[in-house]
Structure 1
Amino acid sequence: RSLGAIAALLATGAVYLLTDRIGYRGLFWGVGGLALVAGLALLPFRFSGDHLPPRRKVQFRRRYWLYYILAFLLGSRRHIFTTFAIFLLVREHGIPVQTTALLFLANSLVNTYAYQGIGRLVAHFGERTVLSVGFFLLIFVFLGYAYIPYLPLLYALFVLDNVIFGTSLANSTYLQKIAVSEEELTSNLSLQQTLNHISAIVIPVLGGTIWQLFGAQAPFLMGVGIVAISLTLVQFMRVPASEPTPTPS
């Protein structure tokens, strides 16, 4: 996390200081050149996958149905916001690239500490409660982007959304508690990434279409609908009670 925060700080500084001097094209050329140098520097190294566990086939079970649906909906709501929130800020409010960089830096720094706290909240209050509160707050985040033109509040909601996304780990811990075996847990956690990639393809295209047809509010109102469905479904979440530890007689 510390290395990630340092990298985010350096990247933000580069964007903030160099964009006006060398322009977007020069910045992209510079970043591309650094990536090329890093790739060439790694060529002499040989990375083997022998130490990795064998790939396991995903075992679909009816008992995992809620996990599957929530995984897709969490990815969908995430891609609505990451695609259209920054687009709204730039297109409708004209924020400069330096402000955009500072917003992403704030996200990175806040999440370095916030996600640890979210993990403790899940352990204390349980998955259903944490996800329910997160979805409830997200309704107001999406409504804010749909109807509120006040930039400072939109900046705060931008960071808040990223913090709330950390509650999605509760869906993974829910699967951990209901999984039949360790093998099924690993394979189904990997499936979450696949569902996320599917939503990454579908949601931006769908959201962009309804933006063109109905205006800038429409994708965020679609997000409200997705979050409302998620909030309803998460009430069906049930975690089996842990067995009491036997005491010696």
Structure 2
Amino acid sequence: MWNVILLGLVSFFSDISAEMVYPIIPLYLTSVFGATPALVGVIEGIAESLASLLKVFSGYVTDKYHNKKPVAFIGYATGLIYKVALIFANSWVGILGARAIDRIGKGIRTAPRDVMVSESADKEQMGKAFGIHKALDMAGSSIGIFISFLLLKNAGENFAYKKLFAISTIPAFLGLIMFFFIKEKNEHSAVLRRKPFWQNIKQLDRKLKLYIMVAFLFTLGNSSNTFLLLRAKSVGFDDTSVILLYFIFNLTASILSIPLGKLSDKIGRKKLLVSGYFVFSSVYLGFAFASSQSVIVIVFVLYGIYTAMITGVERAFIAEISPEELKGTMLGMHSTVVGIALLPASVIAGLLWNGFGASVPFLFGSGMSLLAALILLFFM
């Protein structure tokens, strides 16, 4: 498990850097550049979808050349370039370009990193391994968000966004240093000659194909987290309080990721996945009808519980039912399908918000999550 911990520490430092910036972006776009919720949705959707195709490609390269560590390193190094790009961005177009750089890096690193996590654990402890990684990942997110909150609270209206972007490069650099201590499992040095995965799609596990389809449907209703932050602001939270809410969400997910990962090892992945989608449906209903700040706090906690139930567990599920020679490709394929769905998801959410009010995109997301849960419950 030491390798899993090291990979988790890479994500820990990288996420401190990323989350110092992420919750600030919608506030930066709306307060400095006058962006509307619809424009925020377009920016986030384009950034996510541009990276989505790289996820399956990096997974395929990982499977073919067995070079997981250098590919993942490149992906994490891109996060450092992202912060520099934010410093020099002077319009919403510049922010879009920076976000695209960041998401491209995530697209490159996700599959090889997840393969290394799966190869560093026994099958009986797969859920625990991904839970450890996710716990460290979310702990880094929590710290990054809290730093952002403290800086924003102390600075008030005179908050220096670009100063925060510059500070965020430090933990990003520390995350890259951790790579020197990671040992890559590399049993085969020769390049494999095999058919591309799409030529053998019929041989894939039926459960795997069904889950990837369900993930696409679910993601159509799971818009960018920026809409959760904007929704909290619409109920009366100020900018600093919104950041604190996002901290609560990440902290909850960090605390529960390991125990819920272990639970999936004992009771099976399906029960956690179905329950997680039901929880998400409830969360979005809460966001839709919330009229008080206390309700918003509760649904952010529930959102953290959902994240702990789903994120690590679904990766463990995909890793254990994928063919060994296609593990990276299928982990990348899942991320690609989710990434493709994020563009219409964020655009739809922004248009629904602008056209029909803040509650409607969350009602749509709740319905899509309920549909995903029912499909998994009765057909997987």
Q: Given the two structures, how large is their TM-score scaled by the length of structure 1?
A: 0.76
Greater C-alpha radius of gyration: 1
Distance, in Å, in 2 between the alignment partners of 1:203 and 1:141 is 17
User: Which amino acid is the alignment partner of residue 68 of structure 1?
Assistant: I
Which among 157, 172, 185 is matched to residue 299 of structure 2? 157
TM-superposed deviation, 1:11: 4.8
Which among 171, 175, 178 is matched to residue 318 of structure 2? 175
TM-superposed deviation, 1:52: 9.1
Relative to structure 1, the CA distance from residue 67 to residue 35 in structure 2 (aligned partners, 3 Å threshold; closer, same or farther) is same
- SS of 1:195's partner is helix
Which among 66, 81, 91 is matched to residue 210 of structure 2? 66
Which among 20, 34, 37 is matched to residue 167 of structure 2? 34
- SS of 1:95's partner is coil
Which among 238, 241, 255 is matched to residue 99 of structure 1? 241
8 Å CA contact 2:236–2:293 kept in 1: the answer is no
TM-superposed deviation, 1:196: 2.2
Report the identity percentage.
21
8 Å CA contact 2:285–2:366 kept in 1: the answer is yes
- Confirm whether residue 225 of structure 1 aligns to residue 367 of structure 2: yes
Distance, in Å, in 2 between the alignment partners of 1:52 and 1:108 is 30
Distance, in Å, in 1 between the alignment partners of 2:283 and 2:137 is 29
User: Which amino acid is the alignment partner of residue 5 of structure 1?
Assistant: A
TM-superposed deviation, 1:221: 1.0
Q: Please, which runs of 5 or more residues in structure 1 have no aligned partner? A: 239-249
Relative to structure 1, the CA distance from residue 202 to residue 99 in structure 2 (aligned partners, 3 Å threshold; closer, same or farther) is same
- Confirm whether residue 120 of structure 1 aligns to residue 253 of structure 2: no
User: Which amino acid is the alignment partner of residue 221 of structure 1?
Assistant: L
2:149 corresponds in structure 1 to: 15
8 Å CA contact 1:148–1:154 kept in 2: the answer is yes
Per-residue CA distance 1:22-68 (angstroms, 9 max, x = gap): 64651x2112323567889999xxx9xxx797799444346232121
Per-residue CA distance 1:134-172 (angstroms, 9 max, x = gap): 222222222221113121121111121122123223333
Relative to structure 1, the CA distance from residue 35 to residue 154 in structure 2 (aligned partners, 3 Å threshold; closer, same or farther) is closer
Distance, in Å, in 1 between the alignment partners of 2:209 and 2:336 is 15
Relative to structure 1, the CA distance from residue 4 to residue 76 in structure 2 (aligned partners, 3 Å threshold; closer, same or farther) is same
8 Å CA contact 1:107–1:159 kept in 2: the answer is yes
Q: Given the two structures, how large is their TM-score scaled by the length of structure 2?
A: 0.52
Q: How many residues align?
A: 229
1:244 corresponds in structure 2 to: none
Distance, in Å, in 2 between the alignment partners of 1:39 and 1:129 is 36
Which among 208, 214, 236 is matched to residue 356 of structure 2? 214
User: Which amino acid is the alignment partner of residue 210 of structure 1?
Assistant: L
Per-residue CA distance 1:199-229 (angstroms, 9 max, x = gap): 2212111111112222211101111221121
Deviates most, 195-204 or 34-43: 34-43
Relative to structure 1, the CA distance from residue 174 to residue 37 in structure 2 (aligned partners, 3 Å threshold; closer, same or farther) is closer
Deviates most, 70-79 or 139-148: 70-79
- SS of 2:236's partner is coil
**Structure with greater proportional helix content:** 2
Distance, in Å, in 2 between the alignment partners of 1:165 and 1:39 is 23
Per-residue CA distance 1:85-128 (angstroms, 9 max, x = gap): 211111x2231122122122222322222011111221222222
Deviates most, 5-14 or 191-200: 5-14
Relative to structure 1, the CA distance from residue 218 to residue 182 in structure 2 (aligned partners, 3 Å threshold; closer, same or farther) is same
- Confirm whether residue 234 of structure 1 aligns to residue 376 of structure 2: yes
- SS of 2:223's partner is helix
TM-superposed deviation, 1:18: 4.4
Deviates most, 210-219 or 161-170: 161-170
TM-superposed deviation, 1:77: 4.0
User: Which amino acid is the alignment partner of residue 31 of structure 1?
Assistant: L
User: Which amino acid is the alignment partner of residue 279 of structure 2?
Assistant: L
Relative to structure 1, the CA distance from residue 89 to residue 115 in structure 2 (aligned partners, 3 Å threshold; closer, same or farther) is same
2:227 corresponds in structure 1 to: 84
Distance, in Å, in 2 between the alignment partners of 1:8 and 1:214 is 33
TM-superposed deviation, 1:132: 2.1
Q: Please, which runs of 5 or more residues in structure 2 have no aligned partner? A: 1-134
